[in-house]
Chain A
Amino acid sequence: MQLIKISSLILLSIFFVFLGGVILDDNQSESVISGKTFPVFQQKTLDGKDISNKYFSDKTVLVNIWASWCITCLVEHPFLESLAEDINIVGINYKDDPKNASDWLAKHGNFFTVNIHDPQGNLAIDLGVTGAPESFLVVNGRIVSHIIGEMNQRKWEQYFAPNL
């Protein structure tokens, strides 16, 4: 009995140590994809037009992975909208139903220059995407910055703006 009591307390302590580790580890890790060229792909846009990696070869764009089922995407949406005045934003609609995606855009506002439809997440795999949302800064076909999670003023200034 005494053993059970003590081990339950030890387990609880381990749990807290684990959470502490998660917090310390939570800062942006250096992305392996940064510095590489944008992967070769051939997809459709949400409006059904063809698009390939050539699209990125001569532009500076922010690429944003989003989906209508992603609540954090809703949170970063207003901030991206304010960014859209200064930089072209290309969306990659990730593992989503096209109808839900267009409804979502109609409801919350569509500032994307173009939206690449990626229902299977194939392009996202090549980009090393782990989930939605994520954002990339692509300059003349090269990926220069990458963040995981919500885009906000702080992350923009820290990771993206210096590389423009």
Chain B
Amino acid sequence: MIPELANFILILSMSLFFGTSLLGIYARKIESARILIKPLFTNANLLLLTAFALLVYLAVIDNFSVKYIASHSNSSLPVFYKISSIWSAHEGSMFLWIALLGSWSLLFVRSNYKTDLYITDVLIILSSILFLFTAFLIFTSNPLDRILPLSPIDGADINPILQDPGLAIHPPMLYMGYVGFIIPFAAAVANLTSSSNHAWEKSVKRWTLAAWAFLTAGIGLGSAWAYYELGWGGYWFWDPVENIALLPWLCGTALVHAMAVSSKTSNLKAWVTFLAMLVFILSLFGAFIVRSGIIDSVHTFASDPTRGLYLLSLIAGISLFSFALFVFKGFNYQKKVMLFGSKESFISLNNILLMTAIFSVFLGVLYPLIYEAILGPKISVGPPFYNTIFAPMVLIAGLFIGSSIDSQWQRPFRSGKLLKLARCLVLIAIILAILYFLLGISFSAIESMSFVAGSFILITYTLSIFNTDRKRRIVNLGSFISHFGFGLLLIGIPLNSNLSYEETVAVVINEPKQTERNTIILNNIYEAEGPNFSSIIAEVEVNPGTNAVLLMPEKRRYANRGQVTSETAIKSSFLRDIYINLGELNDQDQWILRLQSNYFISLIWGGIMIMLLGILVFLRKLKHAAD
């Protein structure tokens, strides 16, 4: 009964979204009808959220007559994973995606009191998009379909890789980021259609920053999840799905910076409109690539051409409409002069770099498709391409970020600054020399570019704290913290890639084994039972003596799917993470262990967390300004 009810509510919500957009179009001319749009939109969203809540409830009470729950959940799972099983495959993730889209839209609409032509247009855009997506859900991938009359007694279980707290938060975070960009999109489009001179960038700045913060956190969590739980041994793989999450992130970065310029100096107005449209379209494009399965990736779900085509036509429609609008109506702004050396000039230059980065990643993702379509064979574009392209851009961006710290809005470059910047570069050269001669660290060209960029940001930013000129002190604490975090990230990456190493050893119980740089003892190995899996656990001691580290890597076999996963054991410290994987027993009764030493991972996670902290500080400041 409940699945039918949920289905009915979902269909009702779809119809209401359709109704809202029709009413909105009517209300563009007839002002008295405007009073009705907002309540209608609110109700449609509440219905959507109710339907989603019902699906969660059905998963919790183990209703296996629902096909989706039967194929992705199981009665032996803890409640927590029963809930997260909803976003472990296509239909449920799409539902979550749409529910979040609705929530963002609702919050934004409720925060605007007046319903003028601009807000009416915002509502038309939001409800049309929600209508199209709920229709997509209902007609091509309904998670509420049932298996009747003979429903299974138990479910097939969630993929074990996904039975992890990381999965429970990583996708929702990421989706929050993706769909949050609908706010700047709707505002930018509505601003053009209603031809209002509304200060739309100012009103959506907070929303954009919030979406960008969620996306940053979502990507960071995904990468931490791959590192700590999946045991991939790294934090970034340039996998197609990582890349397409990076596209809206890069575009969002460009957008929040360009918004700062346009609200401070009223430069770049048309550019901000364009970016606001692009960022949401790139988010949709990401959803399309993952869902359609046209690119092989670790994240691929079972592919289905009809879904892909539906999504593609949806994105094509949305982007052609918005870009056509932009092309014909988006340039009605006065051109303003920008002084070189002013804050806005540095931000604009970095915007160009970010666009180049977006284009390169986009090319890297699509090149194999185009190549295959024209020439036949499948090829893949890998890390060397991205690393080579990104390193010089990161270097230039770092130099601009560092130089911008004591620049001012609408003030030209002061030649006295050159000397200061040159001194910083000399200092970095000295640091590199010390690293090389005293510690024996010699960076490759690519690594050193990132290192120079990172340390340049850190040095210039630190020096600016002691600046005596009051006007040139830190004006924006949030931005200061974020860029500082970015600097840490940029020096963490080359240090990590340069210093980390891997060793594989075959060991017998209680016999210490000396490798090139470590001593390893396998103290014990035993079998254990978990709730829905059985496992083999090893107790491994690394470097016995004063700084001994005890690790317990594990191998699990899941009863329901027969899938085997290895649970990596990690011991983290500031300097290095020791990472052990338990392999197989070889024919000489030795266990294979793979030991990885990853250096300065803490700088990478720390950098991302500090970036997030900065965004939060900035959001607080914006909230105060708004109140």
Contacts and interface: CB of A to CB of B under 8 A. Distances in A.
A5 B369 contact: no
Contact of B309 (A20, A81, A103, A110): A20
A111 to B, nearest CB: 9
Contacts of B293: 26
Contacts of B373: 18, 21-22, 25
A40 interface: no
B531 interface: no
Interface in A1-53: 5, 8-9, 12-13, 16, 18-27
A152 B296 CA distance: 13
B564 A9 contact: no
Contact of B378 (A8, A18, A23, A131): A131
Interface residues of A, number: 41
B305 A78 contact: no
B250 to A, nearest CB: 19
A103 B378 contact: no
Interface in A106-164: 106-110, 130-131, 148-150, 152, 154
B239 A71 contact: yes
A9 B561 contact: no
Nearest to A155: B302
Given A106-B504, A110-B584, A9 B594 contact: no
Contacts of A148: 378
Contacts of B327: 5, 8-9
B392 interface: no
Q: Is the interface of A mostly helix, strand, loop or mixed?
A: helix
A109 B231 CA distance: 13
In this complex, the member of A71, A82, A149 whose beta carbon has the largest number of chain B beta carbons within 10 angstroms is A71
Nearest to B369: A22
B583 interface: yes
B564 A19 contact: no
Contacts of A79: 563
Contact of A13 (B292, B320, B502, B594): B320
Contact of A106 (B296, B303, B377, B584): B584
A106 B583 contact: yes
A26 B303 contact: yes
B584 A82 contact: no
Interface stretch (B8-16, B147-155, B311-319, B402-410): B311-319
A150 to B, nearest CB: 6
Contacts of B502: 103
A149 B378 CA distance: 10
A27 B305 contact: yes
B305 A75 contact: no
Contacts of A13: 316, 320
Contacts of B296: 72, 149-150
Contacts of B231: 107
B510 interface: no
Contacts of A103: 502, 504, 594
Nearest to A74: B298
In this complex, the member of B376, B382, B562 whose beta carbon has the largest number of chain A beta carbons within 10 angstroms is B562
A102 interface: yes
B300 A12 contact: no
A20 B369 CA distance: 12
B67 to A, nearest CB: 15
8 contacts: A5-B327, A9-B327, A23-B312, A79-B563, A81-B562, A106-B504, A106-B584, A109-B583
Given A5-B328, A26-B305, A154-B302, 16 more contacts: A9-B323, A13-B320, A19-B369, A24-B305, A27-B305, A74-B298, A82-B561, A102-B504, A106-B504, A106-B583, A107-B566, A107-B594, A109-B566, A130-B378, A131-B380, A150-B300
| Closest 8 pairs (CB-CB, A-B) | A106-B583, A16-B316, A106-B592, A23-B308, A78-B563, A5-B327, A131-B378, A82-B562
